[in-house]
Amino acid sequence: MQPFRWRHYDRRLYVAGDYSIADIAIFPWYRGADQRGVNIEEYPNVKRWFGAINARPAVQRGLQVLKEVQSANQQPHDDKSWDIMFGKTRFQRR
């Protein structure tokens, strides 16, 4: 059985025709796809799309900022901050 090839990308360079917020929103999900068990090599159209987005100078600048912020925040979240972001506390009125 042949894997799904994301044929949408056969005809387009970007998700919605032109570079848009759709590409910006989807791009982070493909970063580290291998860590989620997805081999991007099996999806040549997605790989081409990812390469096009990743090569954009503004994307590279954004990734550099992310890298700098991550290196400045080396300590992991404590239980309280984790609960505020992902637990029951995130829905409480403050």
Q: State which amino acid sits at residue 52.
A: A
Is residue 43 within 8 A of residue 5, CB to CB? The reply is yes
Q: Indicate the length of the chain as a whole number.
A: 94
Q: How confident is the model at residue 15 (pLDDT cuts 50, 70, 90)?
A: confident
Q: If you average pLDDT over residues 35-48, what whole number do you get?
A: 88
Q: What is the pTM of this model?
A: 0.66
Cα(27)–Cα(14) distance, rounded to whole angstroms? 11
Report the half-sphere exposure of 52 (CA within 13 A, side-chain side). 17
